[in-house]
Structure 1
Amino acid sequence: MRILILGGTAFLSAELARQGLDAGHDVTCLARGTAAEPPSGVLWVRADREAGPEAYAGLDGGWDAVVDVTRDPAQAREALAALGSRSGHWSFVSSCSVYARHDQPGADESAALLAPLPPEQEASPETYGEAKSAIEKLTMDLAGEKSHIVRAGLIGGPGDSSDRYGYWPARLALGGDAVLVPDIPGDPVQVIDVRDLAAWILSAAGKGLTGAFNAVGEVVPFGEYIGECRKITGTAPEVVTAGTAWLESQGVNPWSGEDSLPLWLPPEHEGFMARSNAAALALGLRLRPWQETLRDTLADELARGLHRPRKAGLRPETEKKLLASLRPA
């Protein structure tokens, strides 16, 4: 196939480019390349999508498949207008954040969506779900029957810069006498390996698969996930659990950000990491064992350095202070 990736330098889009090349496809990446360059072997069209429609002026010919990962509706609209008629298949990597509710475990693609972000409103981190919803609608409206909407869940694996799935194996690998863990052993953890997600997007393009699908992993209880983290790191710090009400009272944040505990979700998010993947599995999504993803995530964390600054997790000084409150001398 002749494939155009709108991106190609970071995490999922870079993995798409690598796998596309490995499969023998003709891969073009349109990207700025300010933080990283696309994999060697792709045709790199250097452009900044913030420049507007002229960003696509350097792209010639047509493509069997286009993949877009943007979170900006304006960029999506411009790309569809410039390239939609020259593409045989259009994949948009959306998010399960488009759903209006997150409190229903097992919900499938028929669940209600957030209202699309209005065209006059600029996308922001606070309107991420609404922006992705808007792009889904644009894709369906402008690419029509050739649209493949990929509603990704939490994406993990080597190269993940969000620091959410990797926080816990990295923290256990650091050892110490104790580690603070939220008391949520039965809560779901659902991650899809970036390599499995990329493989399915490329496979779906080759088959001409269309429609909207949850691209999510299998559900694993948090306690089992932490146990496997302990096993693969070979460390044995005391696991000190804290109730969610106490953590909230101490200013600890759920999910991500500074002084957070990743994979701990706020109230009414019981289904956020427990969505149905049955439709995608029936149409070719293949998932490696989650333990393999975890092992490879740990290897990546070790290679990048356990003491590096992180976007999610407790700072060492914060964890020390909290543990002292829970375990007074």
Structure 2
Amino acid sequence: MTAVLVLGGTGWLGSRLVDALLTTGADVICLARGSSTLPGDARLIPRDRDADDAYDAVLRDWDAIVDLTSNRHHGVRALEALAGHAGHWLTVSTVSVYASNDTAGDDETAALVDGGPVGDYAADKAAIEAAAVERVHDRLTVVRPGLIVGPGDPSDRGGYWPGRFALAGSGPVLAPAAADGRVQVIDVRDLAEWIARTAVSAPVGALNAVGSSVALGTVLDEAARIAGFTGQRVDAPSEWLVEQQVQYWAGPRSLPLWLPDGMPGFANRSRDRYVATGGTERSLLAILHDVLEDERRRGFDRARRSGLTRAEERELLDTYLASAT
């Protein structure tokens, strides 16, 4: 039986990964803070990864070790302690490690960010990658996902648009007039299944785990259609949205998936290596249907980590429509 240590495993992607690893027949142990219940026969070793003895309980040989962290200190210390015990090391990184988003279709050979303060997401992930290359370069897989979406998304980005169109019904919805914007997502279930299959097989180096790049307008159209939206979609120019302090991409008072102009490569990365190594992609329509049902279960008008509240949106709509008359 393949022995797999997951550093993490109790969060959104992590729990999906543990499920997927168990379906391969692996013996799975997770080292993580807290006492979350794990699926099946997976076992949890509760540890604070800041502690001096964080990894003492797992100092044994493993067929594979998967580290999900974005904490630079945790990632580097884990490699220092455990690199010699792993037949295969798989680190979950991000496409945010790339230094430039200027060129559509860039592959894994594109330059990475070089340096940056601790606490900067891209710089921390790049530093973890560099430490992994140094210590386990011939036994290493680095997976760089794009935006991860799907049911249960704790960031509230992927479900915002179908949820908002469903909440609005026949009322208006504010959207960015970003005709050239692109969206490139990966469903959490597809990503977890790929990581699980790859962890118990041969290392594959670095690759982008991303779906097909599609126009933001297509995502909005399909989200509105499946939500049964019959109202007016009000597409406001980027300049006006910025003036109104609407944020890009994620977080409070944002329009999720909207990006600044001049980033043609951000949501348009090559996915050839992911596909060549067995990576799969469920359809945009299937993803939108699933996240709509998830949004319905969680409540369309709940407090969100990303997006506009309906009250913020109505105020912005009133201001924009008044200025346009």
Matched, 1:300 2:301: no
Q: Per-residue CA shift, 1:148-180, capped at 9, x if unaligned?
A: 011111000112111111111110110241000
Q: Please, which runs of 5 or more residues in structure 2 have no aligned partner?
A: none
Q: Please, which runs of 5 or more residues in structure 1 have no aligned partner?
A: none
Name 2:14's counterpart in structure 1: 13
Q: Per-residue CA shift, 1:243-300, capped at 9, x if unaligned?
A: 0011111111111111110111123322111111012211211111121112111111
Name 1:22's counterpart in structure 2: 23
Alignment CA distance shift 1:40-1:204 (3 Å): closer
Matched, 1:309 2:303: yes
Name 1:203's counterpart in structure 2: 197
Name 1:318's counterpart in structure 2: 312
1:180 maps to which of 160, 174, 195: 174
Name 1:37's counterpart in structure 2: 37
Check whether the contact 1:253–1:260 (CA below 8 A) recurs between aligned residues.
yes
- For 1:224, give the aligned amino acid: T
Name 1:189's counterpart in structure 2: 183
Q: CA deviation at 1:40?
A: 4.1
Distance in 2 between residues matched to 1:289 and 1:97, nearest whole Å: 23
Matched, 1:168 2:164: no
2:274 maps to which of 276, 280, 293: 280
Distance in 2 between residues matched to 1:211 and 1:20, nearest whole Å: 20
Distance in 1 between residues matched to 2:315 and 2:260, nearest whole Å: 22
Q: Per-residue CA shift, 1:96-127, capped at 9, x if unaligned?
A: 1111111211111111110144xxx5x22xx1
Between 1:11-20 and 1:298-307, the stretch displaced more is 298-307
- For 2:186, give the aligned amino acid: I
Distance in 1 between residues matched to 2:260 and 2:217, nearest whole Å: 17
Check whether the contact 1:155–1:193 (CA below 8 A) recurs between aligned residues.
yes
Matched, 1:87 2:86: yes
User: Secondary structure, in 3 states, of the residue corresponding to 1:14?
Assistant: helix
1:221 maps to which of 209, 215, 220: 215
Matched length: 321
Matched, 1:158 2:158: no
Check whether the contact 2:178–2:258 (CA below 8 A) recurs between aligned residues.
yes
Seq. identity, %: 42
User: Secondary structure, in 3 states, of the residue corresponding to 2:93?
Assistant: strand
- For 1:163, give the aligned amino acid: D
Check whether the contact 2:61–2:85 (CA below 8 A) recurs between aligned residues.
yes
1:265 maps to which of 256, 259, 262: 259
Distance in 2 between residues matched to 1:62 and 1:307, nearest whole Å: 48
Q: CA deviation at 1:61?
A: 2.8
Name 1:74's counterpart in structure 2: 73
- For 1:3, give the aligned amino acid: V
Check whether the contact 1:8–1:39 (CA below 8 A) recurs between aligned residues.
no
Matched, 1:244 2:222: no
Please show how residues 29-68 of structure 1 align to structure 2 within 5 Å: 29-33=30-34, 36-52=36-52, 54-59=53-58, 61-68=60-67
- For 2:147, give the aligned amino acid: L
Check whether the contact 2:90–2:143 (CA below 8 A) recurs between aligned residues.
yes
TM-score (normalizing by structure 1)? 0.93
Check whether the contact 1:185–1:222 (CA below 8 A) recurs between aligned residues.
yes
Check whether the contact 1:116–1:137 (CA below 8 A) recurs between aligned residues.
no
Alignment CA distance shift 1:144-1:299 (3 Å): same
Matched, 1:138 2:94: no
TM-score (normalizing by structure 2)? 0.94
Check whether the contact 2:59–2:82 (CA below 8 A) recurs between aligned residues.
no
Q: CA deviation at 1:60?
A: 5.0
Q: CA deviation at 1:317?
A: 1.8
Check whether the contact 2:72–2:124 (CA below 8 A) recurs between aligned residues.
yes
Distance in 1 between residues matched to 2:59 and 2:140, nearest whole Å: 21
Between 1:242-251 and 1:206-215, the stretch displaced more is 206-215
